[in-house]
Amino acid sequence: MTRFAPGDILCAASDIDDREIDLRNHKGPGRILHFDAEFRPKGELWTGEIGLLVGLAVDRTDGTIYAADPNRRMVFRFDAEGELQGPLTSLPDRPWGTVGFSPDGVAYLGVHTQRGPAPSDAMGPDKLARADLRAGTVEASFAVDTDGGHTGWHGLTSLAFLHDGRSAAYVSEGGRRVPRYDLADGRQLADLIAFTDEDNRRAYGVASLPDGRVLVAAGGCCLMLTASGEVIADWPAASAKGWTRVTPSLDGETFFFNNFLEGVIERRRLDDGAVLARHDIKRKCVLCGVAEIGPRA
């Protein structure tokens, strides 16, 4: 039985052989790495499926862990002790890659990619869904606008609930925009930020802070934005590419910044972006979503 403690860190990192990487056929046993707050290994959680885990979130009302695998088109549930409860088989058939909880505890899922014609079910081409994860069902879906990311067919790959309590920011992996959507009224809002064609930065991951500021993982740097989208900090990364996920810590003082290509995760200080700790999982091209165990909300 897994023993979780507040401050423990979970990292989606499927067990994929990285000696000869082929991103067109990139999959392996689904795995979540479990560390303490200092990145000391405590255990591993396994989905029992071959794929690529991407999204990861903890329901703080009961400690349940959810992990999304767009390769397997599944969302997996683990109980508060880390025991696999199986995939949520009642969800619409989609390549789910994002899973998150709004501040009031509502679950949302994002469709990671979408190629070909839209499915003919009630959700259709919508790429964001409000879900009841205990029942494994979608309650509503939203026609959010996406730019396709760097492939042209990426959907909603990272999601952040904004300080106003009614809207969300999101990205399509490697795209030039951080769009916003009003979840209360079901309407598209102006982009939080957009990069020009000449700008080397791209939007890979987005996260929101309680005071309204927003963090963006931009490939080779981490940006801090005001609630209105003004860049107030541009913190360089140790390498020029691969930094795709940013996750605020529950301590309110630090955040996690991780590199998919290199398999490295950093804990950084919010005040100035300084690197406080760095951990190499010794596996390239598998490190995706990050979540932290906290006290029950």
Residue 178 predicted with pLDDT over 80:
yes
At 1, is the pLDDT very low, low, confident or very high (cuts 50, 70, 90)?
low
15-19, 107-111, 115-119, 241-245: the lowest-pLDDT one = 115-119
At residue 272, what is the residue type? Answer: D
Angstrom distance (rounded) from CA 259 to CA 297: 29
Look-up of token digits 């560390």: 35
Any residues with CB less than 8 A from the CB of 190 and at least 6 apart, and which? 180
Residue 65 predicted with pLDDT over 70:
yes
Angstrom distance (rounded) from CA 52 to CA 286: 7
Angstrom distance (rounded) from CA 200 to CA 167: 27
Nearest alpha carbon to residue 69 among 112, 11, 123: 112
Domain ranges of the chain: 9-292
Output the pLDDT for position 24: 86
- Whether the CB-CB separation of 193 and 201 falls below 8 Å is answered with no
Q: Tell me if the domain spanning 9-292 has CATH number 1.20.120.420.
A: no
| b/e per residue 203-219 (b: at least 16 CB within 10 A) | bbbbbbbeeebbbbbbb
- Mean pLDDT, the chain, whole residue set: 97
Question: In this structure, is the dihedral angle defined by the CA atoms of residues 16, 216, 184 and 196, taken in order, positive or negative?
Answer: negative
Our CA dihedral for 74, 290, 156, 166, rounded to 10 degrees, sits at 110
Give the percent of the chain with pLDDT over 70: 99
Per-residue pLDDT of 186-198, as tens digits, reads 999 999 999 999 9
